[in-house]
Amino acid sequence: AQSVAQPEDQVNVAEGNPLTVKCTYSVSGNPYLFWYVQYPNRGLQFLLKYITGDNLVKGSYGFEAEFNKSQTSFHLKKPSALVSDSALYFCAVRPPGNTGKLIFGQGTTLQVKP
């Protein structure tokens, strides 16, 4: 079955430290991969996506993600965390050949402490 796993319910980091939010997927073929962020009482905001090409993708607000095909992972990273980065982060995958459906992970809460 096609699925996305975010193994950590919550990630805690200190402001200024690097952060990583993990994501692995189980999809045959070459999927498209996405990261979204959700702030309280707001909709999901697009951060970045991997379609093809360079495995390191840069997105909004200084975030980046690294695609690793052999490990079927797409971890979200940021060199220096801000308190304002505290939010709920979702990894999503679109299987190849499917032009619409996004399969989301269960989400990871990022808590950045001053």
Partner 1 sequence: EAGVVQSPRYKIIEKKQPVAFWCNPISGHNTLYWYLQNLGQGPELLIRYENEEAVDDSQLPKDRFSAERLKGVDSTLKIQPAELGDSAVYLCASSPPGQGSADTQYFGPGTRLTVL
Helix (H) or strand (E) holding 110: strand 108-113
Q: According to CB under 8 A, which one of 11, 57, 92, 110 is a site residue for partner 1?
A: 92
105 sits near partner 1 (criterion: CB under 8 A) = yes
Q: For tokens 């995958």, name the residue.
A: 93
Give me Rg for the CA atoms of the chain.
13
**Which residues face 11 on adjacent strands?**
110
Q: Which of residues 16-55 bind partner 1 (CB under 8 A)?
A: 32, 34, 36, 41-46, 49, 51
The answer to whether 48 touches 34, Cβ cutoff 8 Å, is yes
59 sits near partner 1 (criterion: CB under 8 A) = no
Closest distance of CB 38 from partner 1, Å: 9
101 sits near partner 1 (criterion: CB under 8 A) = yes
The angle subtended at Cα 14 by Cα 12 and Cα 19, nearest 5°, is: 65
Which token pair is 13?
A: 């980091």
96 sits near partner 1 (criterion: CB under 8 A) = yes
Closest distance of CB 6 from partner 1, Å: 8
Which residues lie near partner 1 (CB under 8 A)? 4, 32, 34, 36, 41-46, 49, 51, 90, 92, 94, 96-102, 104-107
